[in-house]
Structure 1
């Protein structure tokens, strides 16, 4: 496992490792030990999250402090076709730097390791409560004032994605002929 601290302009450790999704628990613990070397491998507990559609996700923690979780996400196969992982990483780092998300500890060839923020899942009843709706609106308004993705070309990502999908559709159509 080669590590290097270069991530273009991002200050995110890079690990030259590709994790087989079937080995996420074993390899995930090894990666977590790189970002939390004070954690004993024997003491680390692993929670497997199963609600994702394409990604594999685990949370690693010490039993004496279960709220201090480190998440390891292995990207779904071929999801890089429609998700630019470098932009995703940059957005996560930028959001964290502006107090809108957990820290990003490192990235590996087909995944990312980041912090966990404890909370509750909002349902349709909670979001209708005026005090909750107000907090959501205030946070969203603040978030949309952030300057993220420090590039000079400020184009909505949705248009880039639409062009990318159309290009893939065009290429797939040519292959089928």
Structure 2
């Protein structure tokens, strides 16, 4: 999961030497910086996979600074995705004007272009105008022709993460989370959810508010952070976005999900109509209804995905976040909603 934009001043000493060296090397290419070592480090809160920092240098121009973004990869996260694949996706997106440019790499992270736009907040996702912009941008994202096979990754990812969760979980914890039941659940979901009518597209798979930026002047949307991006049913990506509306990672208890904030029927239909209409062809009511049904069912796959992610993260990640309770909530939603969503299937 990505970083969000609540910033707090910090000191340079927070960064490892290899990062400082990479930053100074990059800054040496700019002739307007007053002092290469006079950098300001601002940690961005809300990151749950990596540590993310905004870096600023004063320049010779009054009230102007150079800015970049530093991303230090989290410990043990290679279990979730292939970092080389993620870098290739990042570079592809940059070349096609879909995200920030890659400026420099170091052994455990990278330096990115700083996008002059604001990161969205939890409440922004409920704004009808902003939500419409996100829907149109997500359709554009799904239409990207990424290199490599157009293979659905959801089911393999779930099975791989389930095996990883079993590998790191103490026996009592595994029993408490009913991990042994999930292999059968994944097979059942794949059989019931994955229909031939569904469209496959390049999906972000982690479209929470902290991974969406908006230029206030142009109202253009940029989707960032592609660690989990892959080909998948687009209904799954939309379902995951709807589930993220229950989250606010800037509270005193950032792991707590409030499912009363899950979008209502009218809100979901509005998003789906904009999504389907964004290429200029008005959707039929039957098309909207089919996508709505598919999206609702794929929320179950979202709950399983991030529940397993939470269990693994509890044992491999040192970021201050209650991963275990987060996992408990996602699994609770899975078991609670499964009967109503699948009994009629």
Q: 1:160 to 1:127 in 2, by over 3 A?
A: same
Q: Which runs of 5+ in 2 are unaligned?
A: 1-12, 172-345
Q: Indicate which of 154, 164, 167 corresponds to 2:150.
A: 154
The answer as to whether partners of 2:18 and 2:106 remain within 8 angstroms in 1 is no
Give the paired residue count.
Answer: 151
Higher mean displacement: 156-165 or 93-102: 156-165
What is the rounded CA distance, in whole Å, between the counterparts of 2:118 and 2:44 in structure 1?
15
For residue 78 of structure 1, what is the aligned residue in structure 2?
Answer: 76
Q: Which runs of at least 4 in structure 1 moved beyond 4 Å after TM superposition?
A: 169-173
Q: 1:50 to 1:169 in 2, by over 3 A?
A: closer
For residue 50 of structure 2, what is the aligned residue in structure 1?
Answer: 55
Instruction: Specify the structure having the higher radius of gyration (Cα).
Output: 2
* 1:83-121 per-position Cα deviation (integer Å, ceiling 9, x unaligned): 211111112112222222100123222212211212223
Q: After the TM superposition, which residues 1-177 of structure 1 pair with which residues of structure 2 at under 5 Å, given as runs?
A: 24=15, 26-38=17-29, 39=33, 40-64=35-59, 65-66=64-65, 68-148=66-146, 150-151=147-148, 153-169=149-165
Normalization by structure 1: what TM-score? 0.70
Query: Aligned-residue CA RMSD in angstroms?
Result: 2.7
* 1:109-136 per-position Cα deviation (integer Å, ceiling 9, x unaligned): 2212211212223335433333322221
What's the secondary structure of 2:91's corresponding residue?
A: helix
Task: Please state how far the C-alpha of 1:170 moved relative to its aligned partner.
Answer: 5.9
* 1:153-177 per-position Cα deviation (integer Å, ceiling 9, x unaligned): 211232332232244356568x98x
Normalization by structure 2: what TM-score? 0.39
What is the rounded CA distance, in whole Å, between the counterparts of 1:132 and 1:105 in structure 2?
29
What's the secondary structure of 2:119's corresponding residue?
A: coil
Task: Please state how far the C-alpha of 1:80 moved relative to its aligned partner.
Answer: 0.9
Task: Give the strand-richer structure, 1 or 2.
Answer: 1
Task: Give the helix-richer structure, 1 or 2.
Answer: 2
